[in-house]
Amino acid sequence: MRQGALSAGLLAGLLLLSGCGTSPTTNTTGSAPDKNPYAAYESLTGKERTDKLLADAKSEGGVVDLYTSNTDIQDLVDGFRKAYPGLKVNAFRANSETVLQRALQENQANKPQNDVMDTNDIELRALDAQHLLHPYQGPAEAGLKDAAKNLGGWTAERFNAFVVGWNTDKVKKGEEPQDIADFADPKWKGKLSVEVGDWDWYASIHTYLTEEKGMSPSAVDDLFKKIIANAKVVKGHTVQGELLSAGQFAVALSVYSHTVDKAARKGAPVAWRPAVEPVILRPNGVALMAHPRHPAAALLWTDWVLTEGQEIIAQSLRIPAAKSVPGYKEPIPAGTTTYSLSKTAETDTEKWNTAYDALLRGVPTAG
């Protein structure tokens, strides 16, 4: 399952609260704090802000408690501790469904344990629906891409790119796929893979083909049935990348660009350029908790991740949220069509999750 593939019932219920603007009650998980725990810092900038945050972070105990699904989190932790040697980061890492459920359960028991959340957009929206996040207000916002801001109680710190990747031993140069519709051809029988939890990728491609390319929903449904008839199912993007490198299948239809790039950097016979359009972009974010134990440390971490930390994110071959990162080269070729999950699809989460599950029913497993 992809990092953060929620059960349809849990996800739909939480997002329904968000979509309807429901206020928290005694039956909901959380409630907004009476006072803004970050108010003392939000008007500060520059060295004055950093010095104040650092001094207060030390007086809080010199710790920031972080829940994350980011598999590269240790690189960020090491960078932060190098920048602020006197501080410690307690990072709990698991798949994003687990970190979401842990945060919800702790807040429901009125015992919140983390200061910062770093995970996928769907889970962050679910936490925001429960009023458990506090919107970031800081000077780092000015340096971020527009798509990284104004997301509610969270801010994108990086973007994952769903791409079509292939094994270059199985797909020879000059024979690279060019269009998603090409995979409906029976010649791809047994040579494709999809990830079991990628309903958001499915929803994105589906809405792109209907809303941007003018195909009818029934025509897109028929296309996907033909594509999935050629596919095998994989659980987890890390496993998907490993099996692609090993040649267990020729093409991964919904693999992360950084998964392929990291494998290629290590010598694996994999590629995703020239890109099959559209490349689906999904924000992954950082969020301040509304009930932090260490507010100064939380805000110092967030300031750093959205500025200096962007260089470390770029070095991990992910797409940073910052407009400009020294030495960074965008992995998506210029002129490539990119697409994000449409607002229509965002509000129909249960529909897309259920439809994707139904589409994969009976499909064989890879590996």
What is residue 171's predicted lDDT score, i.e. its pLDDT?
Answer: 95
Q: Is the pLDDT of residue 146 over 50?
A: yes
Distance from C-alpha of 361 to C-alpha of 228, rounded to nearest angstrom: 10
Between 17 and 23, the higher pLDDT residue: 17
What is residue 30's predicted lDDT score, i.e. its pLDDT?
Answer: 54
Between 152 and 349, the higher pLDDT residue: 152
Q: Dig out the tokens for 182 from the structure.
A: 């090409």
Q: Is the pLDDT of residue 326 over 80?
A: yes
| Residue that the structure tokens 């020239």 belong to | 274
The per-residue pLDDT of the chain, averaged, comes to 90
Q: Dig out the tokens for 147 from the structure.
A: 């798509």
What is residue 32's predicted lDDT score, i.e. its pLDDT?
Answer: 55
Dihedral pair phi/psi, residue 214, rounded to 5°: 80, 15
Q: Is the pLDDT of residue 176 over 80?
A: yes
How many helices (H) and strands (E) would you count in the chain? Answer: 13, 12
Mean of the pLDDT values across residues 25-42? 69
Per-residue pLDDT tens for 55-103? Answer: 999 999 999 999 999 989 999 999 999 999 999 999 999 988 899 999 9
Distance from C-alpha of 352 to C-alpha of 349, rounded to nearest angstrom: 5
What is residue 31's predicted lDDT score, i.e. its pLDDT?
Answer: 54
Q: Is the pLDDT of residue 25 over 70?
A: no
Per-residue pLDDT tens for 35-56? Answer: 899 999 999 999 999 999 999 9
Per-residue pLDDT tens for 214-256? Answer: 999 999 999 999 999 999 999 988 899 999 999 999 999 999 9
What is residue 124's predicted lDDT score, i.e. its pLDDT?
Answer: 95
Distance from C-alpha of 37 to C-alpha of 60, rounded to nearest angstrom: 13
**pLDDT-derived band at 27, boundaries 50, 70, 90:** very low
This prediction's pTM: 0.84
Q: Are 180 and 227 in contact (CB under 8 A)?
A: yes
Q: Is the pLDDT of residue 198 over 50?
A: yes
Mean of the pLDDT values across residues 266-279? 96
> What's the CA dihedral at 114, 117, 118, 119 to 10 degrees?
120
Mean pLDDT check: name the lowest of 19-33, 58-72, 149-163: 19-33
